[in-house]
Amino acid sequence: MSEKSKMFLSGVVEGFYGRPWTMNQRMELFRREQKWGLNTYLYAPKDDYKHRMYWRDLYSLEEADQLMALICAAKEHGVEFIYAISPGLDITFSNPKEVAALKRKLSQVSEFGCRSFALLFDDIETEMCGADKEAFSSFADAQVSVTNEVFQHLEEPQIFLFCPTDYCAAFCTPSVQLSKYLNTVGEKLHPGVNILWTGPKVVSNDISVASVEEVSAVLKRPPVIWDNIHANDYDPQRLFLGPFKNRPAELIPKLRGVLTNPNCEFEPNFVAVHTLATWCKSSPGQKDVSMDGEDQSSDYDPHEALQLALTEWLLEFGRADSPDDSRSRGARSKREASDEEPMQTDGHVPGPKDNPLYTAEPLTLEDLTLLSELFYLPYEHGPTAVAMLNQLHWLRSNSAAATTGAVTSECEEVNEWRQRAEKFDDMCAAVVQMFNRLSNVPNRRILYDLYNYICDIKSGVSLARAFVKTLGGGTPHPCMIINDDPEPWGFRGGLSGEFQRMLPCHGNRDLFRTPPATRVYTIRPSTAEDQPAVMKLFKEMNAETQHTVELIGDRLVEGLVPSSSNCNVILEDEAGLCGYVFALADAKSVMTKAQYPEAMLRDFPSVMSVQIHPKVPDPTLAKRLIGQVLSSLRESGSQGVYLEFRSSDRRMMDFLKTLNFFQVLRVDGLPANLVVVGTKL
C-alpha cells in the first residue's frame, strides 16, 4: 500500500448548494490548508453545472485552463485535489454510452493533471428506470457496477471516493447493520474505493467511535467523514462560527479521513477549517495517520481551539486586501508590517465648532468571540447567546415586577427585575457595538460575507431591547415600538416565516427551550370504554400499511389477546385519545405456531404494541408512556420486550428512532416485509 493510499485525508469539501467559491478563494484555501497542516480539497460544488446537472459535457478550453491552474495550485501547496462528479440525477447505469460519457469526462480531467477522483450519488431519487431494473438487482448494484468500472478505467487511483445515496445512519432502512443497500456496497465495491459518510444524520451533532465502528463493519472499510457540522446551505439565516466539536480525536485511527463541508460564504470558514486542523493535530502522527495507527487519547479542547482560530482571524480583518485583489503579496506583506489605522486623507481639519472626524473603533478579540457565540453551531448557541435568551425569558415571565412601583430597598422583586433588565441592555449594547466595529473593518470582503447575518442579529437584538424597555415603563425609539402596525423589520422571516408559524411543530426544535404552555396531556390505564377510540387510532395510523402478516401486537390492540396487568395505558388530550401502549409479558403463550426462534424469545419474551398520533409533537410524552409499561414488565420478571411492525410502515420506523429505546433485532427466517425491534429490561 502506497504512502498516499494510507494518508489520513484532512481538509475541505466544497460540496454545498449555492454560489460556488471563486478560483481565487480556492487558491487562498490551499494556502491556509498548507499553513495549518491540512492536505485535501474535494471539488464538488452542487451548483457547478458540469459537476452535476450537465455532467456529460466536457470542459471548454477556458474552463480547462482554470481547472489546470487550480490543480497546479493545490499541488504547489501540498494539497491533494480530488475531482468529484455527480451523475446520479439522470444517468442510466445500464447504458454503455452513459458509462462511456462518464469515463470520457473523468479522462479529460485526468489530462489536466488530476490524479484523485470521487463519484457522488447523494441527494438523488432511488427509483431505477425500466432499463436499469432489467439489468441490475438493486440500486446499490447499479451504482457499484459503474463505480468499479470507472475506477478500473482510471487505472485504480490511489485516492478514489464514493458517496452512497444512503450516506448517513438516518437514511438506512431498517438500520445501518441491516441495510441491504449498505451491505451490497460494502461487499461489492472495490476495496480500493473509499466511502464517504456524514454520521448518524445529514448534519450530525456528534459522531461517536461506536457509530463509526458499526458502519465500518458493514462497509468493510473505514469511512471518510463528509462533515456537515458547519454547513449552512439549508438555512439562509444561519451561519456557523463555532469550533469543530463532538467528534472525539480517538476517531482518527478509525477513519480514512475527515473533510468539512462548511458555510457557503468563504471568509467565515476561517474558524471551521482552523479548528478542524487543530483537532487533527490533537492525535499524534496527524499527517500520516494510517489505518493501523494506535488509538490515542485526545487533548483537544474546542474552546481553546476556537480562541486560537479567532485570534488568528482577527488579523485578517485589519487587512485592506483579500485573495481576490490583484495587488501582490509583497504589497500585502508591506502593509502587514504597519500598525496604522485607516484614516481620512483629504486633508480636512475640522474647526473648533465643527463635528470631529469620525474615527472607527478597532475590532477586538472580544467582539469576534461574541460574534462566534451568536452564530455558534447547528444544535447549540454559544454561552452569551444562551445567557441573553435566559435573561429575556426571565424578564418577560416576571414583567409584573417591572411596574410594581418605585424601587425601594424593601422591593426586592422590582430591584432584581431592574438589575436584570440593565444587564440585558448591556448585552444588547455589546452586540450593537460589535456590529458597528465590524462595519468599519478594512477587509471589506470578510465584512460582506458576514453583513446579512450581523445586520439580522443586530435588528433582532434591538427589537428585544426595545421590548424590555417597554416592559420597564420606558419609551423606545419610535421605529422599534412593537404594536399592531410595525415597520417591516418588526415581523421578520417573510413568507417562509409565516409558513413555519402556521405549522403545529413550529418552535419545538428551538435550541432555547421554554416550558410548553399549550396542550395538557393525561396518561392513564385503558378501560373497555376506550376500545372504540383505540381502534379508530389504530385504523387511522395503519390505513396505508399492507396487512399481509398477522402481528400479535394487532391482536392486543383489537382486544383478541388480553394485556398483562398494568400494561395497557393510553395518552389523551382535550380532544380525546391520541396514543396507546399495550403489552403482554409472555408472548409465546398466545402464539399459534413458532413464529420466532427460541433464542430470541428467551431474551425478549414480552411483546408490545405502540401508537402515537403525529399531532403529539413532544417525544418525551411517548417516552413516558412506554416507560410506564416497561416498568410494569420489568416488575413481572420479563428480561426484554420486542415490538413488530411492517417494513412498509416508514412512519413507525422514524418514530421509534426518535425514542432511542429500541434496537433492530436480527431474526432468522423473518419475512422480508416485517421488522422487529427490541430492548432489554
Show which residues are catalytic. Answer: 123
Select from 305, 317, 239, 233 the least CA-distant residue to 275: 305
Burial level of 334, CB count in 10 A (0-12/13-18/19+)? exposed
What is the gyration radius of the CA atoms in the chain, in angstroms? 30
10 Å CB burial of residue 197 (0-12, 13-18, 19+) is buried
Q: Give the three-state DSSP class for 268.
A: coil
Name the β-bridge partners of 225: 197, 258
Neighbours of 627 (CB within 10 A): 14
Nearest CA to 86 out of 166, 163, 179 is that of 163
* Residue at 663: amino acid letter: Q
What residue type is assigned to position 178 of the chain? L
Closest among 527, 375, 522 to 461, alpha carbons compared:
375
Alpha carbons 653 and 662: distance in angstroms, whole number: 10
How long, in residues, is the chain?
A: 681
**Other Cβ atoms within 10 Å of 444 Cβ, number:** 13
Q: Name the DSSP letter for residue 638.
A: -
Answer for the pair 188, 181: CB distance below 8 angstroms, yes or no. Answer: no
Instruction: Give the three cell numbers for residue 511.
Output: 435550541
Q: Where are the alpha helices (DSSP H) in 440-592?
A: 444-471, 494-502, 531-541, 552-558
CA distance 86 to 162: 10
Nearest to 139 by CA among 95, 77, 182: 182
50 vs 55: CA distance, rounded Å: 5
Secondary element (H or E) of residue 187? helix 180-188
Q: Three-state SS for 643?
A: strand
Name the grid cell of 210. 461506536
Give the DSSP letter of residue 43. E
What is the Cα–Cα distance from 181 to 77, expressed in whole angstroms?
Answer: 38
- First and final C-alpha spacing in the chain: 47
